[in-house]
Chains A and B, each alone.
Chain A
C-alpha cells in the first residue's frame, strides 16, 4: 500500500506564475489536509477536504490560493500569481476521517519562487 504521494518534490516558479501541487492520498483515504511550513516555523493548517467537498478552509489565504479534491484523481493545491513569500514546503496528509485515527503525511513539495 503506497503512502501519501506528493508531486513534484521540488518546484521552482517565477513571480507571477502559477504553481500546482498534487497529492494522492493513501488507498482507502477520503480526507486530505494541506499544511504549509515556512523556514524555521511550524506547520500551518491551510485546508481540509473530503472528496468533492471542502470541510474547512479557514487557513487558506483569501486570494490566489485554492484547493480541490475531485471524485477521481489527486487533490490539487493551486497558487496563482506566486510571490516570493509563497516559498515554503507544502505538506499533504490523508486520513479516513474516522475518529481517533492518525493522519499520514507525504514527503512534501518544496516551492521556491524566484
Chain B
C-alpha cells in the first residue's frame, strides 16, 4: 500500500548547521509529495511540495527534490535557525486513491543557539 517512512527523531542541531531529514515513500500510483511543519501547539502548515519527478520544492530556505529512482523526498536546509525548531512531516497523496494523504511519523527538530 501507499506509505511514507521518515527519519526517526529527535534531531538536535546547533544554529547554522546543515539539516537533512530523510523521507522515502511507497506508492502504487504517481504521487505528489509534501513536507509539512508543525510548531508547538499549532496545526500543520505546508512547507513545500513537488508534484512530479525531479521537481524541487523550496520555501524559507528549505528544499526537497522528488527522486523517483530512489523513491525519496529528503528535506534539506543549509543553515538552520532557532526558529526552525518544530516537528516536520513528510506526506504523499496519490490521485488514484481519491487523493488520500499519507503522513510519516514526524521528525522533531530542536535548534540550539
Give me the interface of A with B, judged by CB distance under 8 Å.
4, 6, 31, 33, 35, 41-43, 45, 48, 55-56, 91, 93, 95, 97-108
Residues of B71-108 contacting chain A, CB below 8 A: 89, 93, 95, 98-106
Report chain A residues within 8 Å CB of B44.
Answer: 43, 91, 93, 105
- Interface SS of chain B: strand
11 pairs, CB–CB < 8 Å, chain A vs chain B: A43-B103, A43-B105, A45-B101, A48-B98, A48-B100, A93-B101, A97-B99, A99-B99, A100-B51, A102-B34, A104-B46
Residue pairs across A and B with CB atoms within 8 Å: the count is 58
Is A41 within 8 A of B105, CB to CB? yes
Tally of B interface residues using CB under 8 Å: 22
Is B98 within 8 A of A97, CB to CB? yes
Is A103 within 8 A of B32, CB to CB? no
Q: Quick one: given A42-B89, A106-B43, A107-B43, are A101 and B99 in contact (CB under 8 Å)? A: yes
Report chain B residues within 8 Å CB of A93.
Answer: 44, 101
Q: Quick one: given A42-B103, A42-B106, are A55 and B98 in contact (CB under 8 Å)? A: yes
Question: With the chains together, A33 CA to B100 CA distance in Å?
Answer: 9
Report chain A residues within 8 Å CB of B49.
Answer: 102
Is B43 within 8 A of A43, CB to CB? no
- Least Cβ–Cβ distance between B104 and chain A, in angstroms: 7
Closest chain A residue, CB of each to CB of B48: A102
Is B104 within 8 A of A103, CB to CB? no
Q: Quick one: given A99-B32, A106-B43, A107-B42, are A43 and B98 in contact (CB under 8 Å)? A: no
Question: With the chains together, A40 CA to B56 CA distance in Å?
Answer: 30
